[in-house]
Amino acid sequence: MTSNPLRIGLLWHTLRSGNLGCGALTIANMSLLDEAARAAGREVEFHLFEFASDADYRSSVSFPVVEHHFSVKKSLTPGSPVARAMAECDIAVDIGSGDSFTDIYGWRRFFNLAWSKYLALRASVPLLLSPQTIGPFERRSCRFAAAMLMRRALRVYTRDRQSTACMAELGLQDRARESIDVAFRLPFERREKFNVDGKVHYGLNISALLYRPEHRSRERFSLTCENADLVDTLIEKLLAVPDVEVHLVSHLLANDVRHDDHVLCRELHERYPQTVLMPCFSSPSEAKSEISRLDFLAGSRMHATIAAFSSGVPVVPLGYSRKFVGLYETLGYPLIGDCSRQTKEDLVALVLSAEGRKESLLAALESGNVLALGRLEAYRDDLTQIIAGLPR
């Protein structure tokens, strides 16, 4: 190993976000990058350009990390501390928070995602886009800017077929390499199952973003029904099934209680005391370890469903955007709920059908995980080649 560490700038990664999905992406990608660097004979020093502070699970990683508070305003001047820190990196790795390189969340967020990429390119730092959802881009100006930035990137990895198709629509099919969500490699501890009591332990992962009326999720995501009505019905229907125990699972913590999933789960547990309130998880790996104890999980936070899938728990994704359908279709998984297309009755029936399809779902999990891990092994091998070619 060389004594000169490889300085990897991590954009849109975080070890401080209450959104444990973003943390799962960060920890898994850091692990893959570290493996790749070691295979290339390099040690790493991660430079994390942070953007959130609702939580803190830095202690769950053992890699050297230097933190920089990212701010578009503070990075506009080439000589600013953030700009200097980026210029000193050997490579910039951008994961786009998994699904944020799009304009569907508004022009301001798109500008932030685009500017951070330009910040690396302006400093002549090689830019790599790790596996993520790409698009859609509805505004012509955003399509132009996104295409320009990706054309200048060293490599762009998509995590599903729909994102690969989006790049083809932008004329960038030769730039795309289809991989899968890196959270399939999130480290975890496989724990003893809950079902030592002979009951079926069914987890419901609930999103405050979708459930609480003030977020206007039905209008925002074109949902076929109110999410609160769907969730309440699922709890009542599952509780009515003999020998089923319902566990309420959160995957996003926030300083603002309106956005905090665990606060919502606690409220629902008070309304439905027969349910089991799962703990407030301390890290993404802790969440995955506890989810692995369940027999089934139905969920609206994508990385909660990935935690289940990648730990061998049959899952019913209750998606609200194309990232869910794109990912699970890419994996060839047969049980996908689409809250923007299916009725409440169809979604409830889908969740209730999972127990009777357990064997086929377990087989689908096995083949899907083989596919996912194979793609991530190829991604890691690509990273090794890229890192080996960087100046020492």
Q: Do the bridges between strand 176-178 and strand 296-299 make them parallel or antiparallel, or are there none, so unpaired? A: unpaired
Q: Model-level pTM greater than 0.85?
A: yes
Written as tens digits, the pLDDT of the chain (392 aa) is 445 899 999 999 999 999 999 999 999 999 999 999 999 999 999 999 987 678 999 999 999 999 998 888 888 888 899 999 999 999 999 999 999 999 988 899 999 999 999 999 999 999 999 999 999 999 999 999 999 999 999 999 999 999 999 999 999 999 999 999 999 999 999 999 998 889 999 999 999 999 999 999 999 899 999 999 999 999 999 999 999 999 999 999 999 999 999 999 999 999 999 999 999 999 999 999 999 999 999 999 999 999 999 999 999 999 998 889 989 999 999 999 999 999 999 999 999 999 999 999 999 999 999 999 999 999 999 999 999 999 98
- Give 255-301 pLDDT, tens digit per residue: 999 999 999 999 999 999 999 999 999 999 999 999 999 999 999 99
Q: Round to whole Å and give the CA distance between 21 and 183.
A: 8
Whole-angstrom distance, CA of residue 273 vs CA of residue 248 = 11
* Paired tokens of 79: 């000589």
As given in the structure block, the two tokens for residue 336 are: 């996908």
Name 384's Cβ contacts closer than 8 Å, sequence gap at least 6.
36, 37, 39, 40
Contact (CB, 8 A) for 157 and 129: yes
The CA-atom distances, in angstroms, between 75 and each of 45, 101, 142 are 21, 19, 21
pLDDT score of 3: 58
| Token reading at 27 | 């920890």
CA distance 317 to 298: 6
CA distance 155 to 175: 7
| CB neighbour burial string for 63-97, b if at least 16 within 10 angstroms, e if fewer | bebeebebeeeebeeeeeebbebbbebbbbbbbbb
Put residue 98 in one of left, alpha, beta given phi > 0 → left and psi -120 to 50 → alpha: left
Secondary structure of residue 129 in the 3-state scheme: strand
d(CA 285, CA 315): 18
Can you tell me whether residue 23 is helix, strand or coil?
Answer: helix
pLDDT digits (tens, 9 = 90+) for 212-224: 999 999 998 999 9
Helix extents (H) in the chain: 20-39, 72-75, 81-87, 107-122, 140-152, 161-169, 208-211, 217-220, 227-239, 261-271, 284-291, 302-310, 322-330, 344-353, 358-388
Helix locations, 153-278, DSSP H:
161-169, 208-211, 217-220, 227-239, 261-271
Closest CA to 292 of 215, 193, 387: 193
